[in-house]
Chains A and B, each alone.
Chain A
């Protein structure tokens, strides 16, 4: 139907899988974390005890908080992805069996 989007297999598909497995679960986790965190913490009161001199509004607080969570969760996802890659030589047949 859509020639434009046809089999995104091979390199493009792998690239999207890699970035998708890092960015997408971390986005969901950051969203949940933001909802729970900001349900209990008012960004304005958080500003007063951290950077009282800065004119941080609630919207800016929410946005900064969400992207901070997303950055941290994405970093965790990225490290998981990095560690779960097959080690070089894991399936390498250079050494004959027996």
Chain B
């Protein structure tokens, strides 16, 4: 049976969609902000001064700037240690621009019936976004009002033109061509997850005890709760999930009668929604950026079938295994200590 993906409800458009949009808007608006009649954030390289919301840093203040960046990095590590890869899934520029480019691509394919026309439109839109991104980035180093003073010919000096085109090309290359491969193969932060995260850090989990055995079925049977089937034993549930993921070594799945099926409809919505092309049901994967797209896709399907949502969700390994969960761990104290020291140094220096 092929399930048609129902469109998510309007009210369901929650922070997962709003946060990336807000962050992108923040980046594009940042150079336009004014502070005391000047651009609020401006690394004025020709004048060798850096204005940051009324605070002016000179070249000899590079230590303060480095301290601020180090404190931000330590904050990011603490956030990742406590809450998982929320940065990767919701705030990393690679994710934000990948979403924007993917969304433009989908819009072109949906609105333009002719594939070649859709491809041309997609490239034009991508080029426009990439150029505006390069312009905005250079606008943090060179007053943006001067960069956008006229349309044609662009009022850019040779160096401004070079850097705008360089960052436009970098944007297109990273999110138009490489996309998820940056997270998988090139990102150093993704490699640090094993150091930062432990069994108390939340990550994406598939509730195999409720969901397995998966399978399509006729409508109207209701979820396991309505049928009174109960949760599977954890080992059996894991075994079913493993067999489904590795049919080539585990052999075909046995056939289950409809009343023994779990709540997973095996519709594939979670796999189609995943920006990293993973199947969350095969178990946690190191490449998962925890964006939650599979959660939304699955919950939408479950609601359409009038099953309770929540087959996929964020939880720590300890919580899933029903072991004792800890909020404060040695690593928490270590990272928080480093963050406090860095903040103290920066505040002392400013």
Give A residues with C-beta under 8 Å from B. Answer: 1-2, 4-8, 13, 16-17, 20-21, 24-25, 35-36, 38-40, 42, 57-60, 62-63
Contact = CB atoms under 8 A, between A and B. Distances in A.
Interface in B189-226: none
Nearest to A58: B46
Contacts of B238: none
B322 interface: no
A34 B56 CA distance: 20
B171 to A, nearest CB: 14
A8 B181 contact: yes
Interface of B: 45-46, 48, 59-60, 62, 65-66, 102, 105, 157, 159-160, 162-163, 177-182, 185-186, 188, 272-275, 277
Contact of B59 (A8, A40, A59): A40
Contacts of A35: 62, 65-66
Contacts of A40: 59, 62
28 contacts: A1-B102, A1-B272, A1-B273, A1-B274, A2-B179, A5-B179, A5-B180, A13-B181, A13-B185, A16-B181, A16-B185, A16-B186, A20-B178, A20-B185, A21-B186, A24-B186, A36-B62, A39-B59, A39-B60, A39-B62, A42-B59, A57-B46, A57-B159, A58-B46, A58-B48, A59-B45, A59-B46, A59-B159
A26 to B, nearest CB: 12
A1 B275 contact: yes
Task: Classify the secondary structure of A's interface with B.
Answer: helix
Contacts of A5: 177, 179-181
A39 B163 CA distance: 20
A16 B179 contact: no
Contacts of B157: 59
Contacts of A1: 102, 272-275, 277
A42 B178 CA distance: 36
Nearest to A1: B272
A57 to B, nearest CB: 8
A2 B122 CA distance: 13
Nearest to B46: A58
Contacts of A42: 48, 59
The 8 residue pairs across chains A and B that have the minimum distance between CB atoms = A39-B62, A59-B159, A20-B186, A39-B59, A58-B46, A5-B179, A17-B185, A24-B186
A60 B160 CA distance: 10
B45 A62 contact: yes
B274 A63 contact: no
A90 to B, nearest CB: 23
Contacts of A20: 178, 181-182, 185-186
A39 B43 CA distance: 12
A36 B60 CA distance: 10
A57 B46 CA distance: 8
